[in-house]
Chain A
Amino acid sequence: MAAHAAVSARFDDVHTVLGAVRSLREQGHEDVTLYGPVMEPELEDALAKPRSPVRRYALIGGIMGGISGFALTIWSSYYYPLVVGGKPLSSIPAYVVIGFEMTILFAGISALIGMLIHNRMPTAKLDPHFDPSFTEDTFGLRVVCSSERSGSVELLLRSAGSREVNVER
């Protein structure tokens, strides 16, 4: 198996890092991680990572919430039947409000839970490649590639305008 190397670089500007990511992707590098204080849609597109599954959490949570809202209201009106004026026991139009609110509540909570699960948060241990300046003004790019290619990656990152490039072999 070929030995691997990790090349990490720092950038000061969102436009230069965008250029670097694009040329890395053009050269076929898959294992690219980017850290930064903001993440523009262009950067996300350039990195071309798979779509976030958080959408499914929100959908499933919302459906569960809607079902539980209606279930609670309808079930409880049959559980303790109080017939008023011969009307049906459960008044669906009145329960729409509860069903709606529960849909929203569950969808929101589950979207957030989905985000936490996929982001591996909460955690007390920060990634060893993380640097405090990444939340301030620095973009950090880390590319894992085969040892032979590390030289060309390093060159690419330098020419893209990186302030600092390190290679770990």
Chain B
Amino acid sequence: MASAAPPRESRFAKVNSDIIGALWGPDWRYTSMMTLLGAVIGWAFFALLWQIKFGMGTAGINNPVMWGVYITNFVFWVGIAHSGTLISAILYLLRSGWRTTINRAAEAMTIFAVMTAGLFPLIHLGRIWYFYFLAPYPNQRMLWPNFRSPLIWDFFAISTYFAISLLFWYAGLIPDMAAVRDRLGKMSGRMARLKQKIYGALSLGWQGSDSQWKHYRRAYLYLAAIATPLVLSVHSVVSWDFAMALVPGWHSTVFAPYFVAGAIFSGIAMVITLAVPFRWALGLEDYINEYHFDNMGKLLLLTSLIVGYAYLTEFFMAWISGDGIEQSSFLYRAFGDYTVPFFIMMMCNAVIPLLCFSRKVRRSIAAMFVISILVNLGMWYERFVIIVTGLAHEFEPYAWGVYKPTWVELSITAGSFAWFLFWFMLFAKTLPAISITEVKESIAEGIWSPGDKKEDA
């Protein structure tokens, strides 16, 4: 131990005590929120059991609309997952200063969102116990998956994405776990010893010697470098689930960039939505402040413009194609049975985010919170509109149909939000929710320090 305690905490020590100090002692608000989320998840599980017992007829999906809210949720949650890796990997490679305090939470969000998304293809299967047919494994029937199928690509893309995001997140956590371990070492009591053992095991014996840092930073850089093309590939593959089919409104080459931009858009919106209660509940207002919201607002605006442009491109392509079926499909999308979802999508995704052109709006946390919630809503509806209007209005008029979700689907959808938030809240109280190392790095390099609400030139 140091011979004498310094009179005042150093800046580095303050980072440790602020971030690690936020971990202990959940209060009554936390426990009651967790109980509520648990109840919603329980109800959704009941709905799922109901569907398994009585069959897929309990869900509203029908012929021709055989993809409904479940696939909407799948695409929505995969999209949410994208900003985590964007913030952590792409902005890491770009040496962006503002990512340091939100990257940990965004990566955690990625993992929990993929965990949520991954449930939906299984729920949608109906006979959920056959999901392992997707995995390539040697079997007696000599059967292998059809590797030409976008659904198998998707299985590979999502599994890889989950694995790499998890490793990337965990790699980032290693030095911070060691910081928690060493802080616990100063406390007395049996609980502290037990916790110290757990965090010590999770830190894998990290000591922060120069050679460890050297290998660590290399590995982190490579993970970031390979995660970058991965992010772009995953939602492209998800979009090909649609674009590879001949359905009018889906069969389009613009789908991959359009979906990737949409994914990043929705993901950033979710980061903003979660960052507001998160900074308040953990008392980390100095760490995530106007500076970060300003920059996230710019990213939100950029992706919103791309998404809005893609919406218009789709209509333009339908018009210029001269293909009557394509044109009819897009007219149906805007003015058919799903006009309300369509206009919610247009307003929330392409119009309202334009407010972010204003610096004042971007630096107002309340305004960003409201906009981000509307964007989340809009992006959920975007997936709904693409999936349902595409299928409801295919080639033959006698095969047109309308879809309405049932209570089972809506309960499971609500459950997915609760499930996601449950994991996120668990994370916020058990692991260092802001990267201690990276905050210190930016202090040491003089890029940014806690409490600084600086503006980029």
Contacts and interface: CB of A to CB of B under 8 A. Distances in A.
A119 B211 contact: yes
Interface string A11-23: 0101000000000
Interface in A47-78: 47, 49, 52, 54-55, 58, 62, 72-73, 76-77
A123 B202 CA distance: 10
A104 B232 CA distance: 12
Given A101-B156, A107-B226, A112-B167, A136 B210 contact: no
A47 B142 CA distance: 57
B216 interface: yes
A126 to B, nearest CB: 6
A114 B211 contact: no
Interface in B163-200: 163-164, 167-168, 171, 175, 178-179, 181-183, 185-186, 200
Contacts of A137: 10-13, 16
B171 A112 contact: yes
B133 interface: no
Contact of B216 (A55, A115, A130): A115
A115 B219 contact: yes
Interface in A81-139: 91, 94-95, 97-98, 100-102, 104-105, 107-109, 111-112, 114-116, 118-127, 130-138
Given A12-B10, A39-B217, A164-B3, A107 B222 contact: yes
A55 B222 contact: yes
A10 B212 contact: no
A58 B226 contact: yes
Contacts of A109: 163, 167
B210 A111 contact: no
Contact of B205 (A94, A97, A122, A134): A122
A107 B144 CA distance: 25
Interface size band for A: 35 or more
A151 interface: no
Interface string B419-441: 00000000000000000110011
B147 A73 contact: yes
A79 B227 CA distance: 33
B153 A135 contact: no
A105 B234 CA distance: 12
Interface size band for B: 35 or more
B147 A94 contact: yes
Interface string B9-23: 011110010000000
Residue picked from B3, B144, B185, B205, most chain A C-beta under 10 Å: B205
B26 interface: no
Given A12-B10, A37-B208, A111-B218, 18 more contacts: A35-B208, A35-B210, A38-B437, A62-B226, A79-B144, A98-B156, A101-B233, A109-B163, A112-B219, A114-B215, A115-B218, A119-B212, A122-B205, A124-B200, A127-B209, A134-B208, A135-B16, A136-B12
Interface of B: 1-3, 6, 10-13, 16, 136, 142-144, 147-148, 152-153, 156-157, 159-160, 163-164, 167-168, 171, 175, 178-179, 181-183, 185-186, 200-201, 204-219, 222-223, 226-227, 229-230, 233, 237, 436-437, 440-441, 444-445
Interface of A: 10, 12, 14, 33-40, 43-44, 47, 49, 52, 54-55, 58, 62, 72-73, 76-77, 79-80, 91, 94-95, 97-98, 100-102, 104-105, 107-109, 111-112, 114-116, 118-127, 130-138, 163-164
7 contacts: A33-B210, A35-B207, A39-B208, A54-B219, A77-B144, A104-B227, A135-B181
